[in-house]
Amino acid sequence: MPKAKYESIYKDLKQKIESQEYPCQELLPSENTMVEIYGCSRNTIRRAVAQLVEEGYVQSLHGKGVRVIYQPVDQASFYIGGIESFRESAERNHRQTSTHVVQFAEISADEHIHTKTGFPTGSILYYIQRVRYLDGKALILDINMFLKSQVPGLTPEIAEGSIYDYIEKELGMQIITSKRTMTVEHTTQVDEKYLELKDYNCLAVVTNQTYNADGIMFEYTQSRHRPDFFRFQETATRKHRQETQ
């Protein structure tokens, strides 16, 4: 099936759900109706809907249709979703964004870095600190480490744009899995130097270890968020197990 067709339907449905044209708890138009609306096959509709299910926008009901379960996010927050670049997150959150690289260096992973990140000792890494501006305010500090052997050719200019765009479009690497940990931590002198923290003395910290299609961890990142502008949301599905006799 044409990827562009499926993606355009998925984006259109997602936009209509987010704008509440299809409000929470209502059913989407029937599959037959959507086939007529979009002029495509049932499989194309099903694939678009399947992605909305995966992202927690809708729930398929056997024999009944597809119910909208998305609820609008408080726009005073910055909503963290799946594996996506900062630029992609900002666009989804309808925020104006810019990035300032404050440190860019090559380092060798010592025992301390190995223990903290999981990169093998002796690995050559790009070490990057980036301040993320949302609507003109410095609200997020990203501390990135990228494995140079897997992400060669990084520059400060690329880092000020989108490293994920560079990885996927220029290097042709597939970004597959990210292990994510969220904590609340006291602010550091570096946080206070670069971020607009008001009176806050703590941050929401999201740590990612990200793997490519070969199962190699190529990125370790700490994203340090001002707490009043942070929200994490995930859709979880309970797996039902058969009782043993």
Distance CA 126, CA 229 (A): 28
Phi and psi angles of residue 153, each rounded to the nearest 5 degrees, phi first: 80, 10
Mean pLDDT score, 208-218: 94
CATH of the domain at 177: 3.40.1410.10
More confident residue, 23 or 134: 23
The whole model's pTM is what?
0.70
- Confirm whether 172 is domain-assigned: yes
Say how far apart CA 235 and CA 54 lie, in whole Å: 8
Question: Alpha-carbon distance 49 to 6, whole Å?
Answer: 9
For residue 212, the model assigns a pLDDT of 94
pLDDT value, residue 26? 94
Residue 73 lies in a domain: no
Together in a domain, 201 and 108: yes
5/210 Cα distance (integer angstroms):
29
Q: Is residue 47 part of a domain?
A: yes
- Please check whether residues 159 and 178 belong to one and the same domain: yes
Q: In whole angstroms, what is the distance from residue 239 CA to residue 237 CA? A: 6
User: 121 and 195 share a domain?
Assistant: yes
Model pLDDT for residues 3-60, shown as the tens digit of each residue: 678 889 999 999 999 888 999 999 999 999 999 999 999 999 999 999 999 888 899 9
Q: Residue 66 half-sphere exposure, CB side, CA atoms within 13 Å?
A: 23
Indicate whether 132 and 203 sit together in one domain.
yes
Q: Which SS3 state, helix, strand or coil, does residue 185 take?
A: strand
| 64 shares its domain with 93 | no
pLDDT digits (tens, 9 = 90+) for 165-196: 999 999 999 998 989 899 999 999 999 999 99
Q: Residues near 125 by Cβ (< 8 Å), separated by ≥ 6?
A: 106, 107, 108, 109, 113, 119, 145, 146, 147, 148
CATH number at residue 10: 1.10.10.10
237, part of any domain? no
Can you point out the beta strands (E) in the chain? 58-61, 65-68, 78-80, 97-108, 124-134, 137-147, 175-186, 202-212, 217-225, 230-232
- Residue 164, classed as helix, strand or coil, is helix
> What is the pLDDT confidence band of residue 1, given thresholds at 50, 70 and 90?
very low
167 found inside a domain? yes
227 and 131 housed in the same domain = yes
Same domain, 175 and 91: yes
Domain that holds residue 39: 3-68
Three-class secondary structure of residue 43 per DSSP: helix
- Is residue 240 situated within a structural domain? no
pLDDT band, very low/low/confident/very high, at 143 (cuts 50, 70, 90) = very high
Residues 88 and 163 reside in one and the same domain: yes
CA distance 193 to 10: 41
Same domain, 24 and 86: no
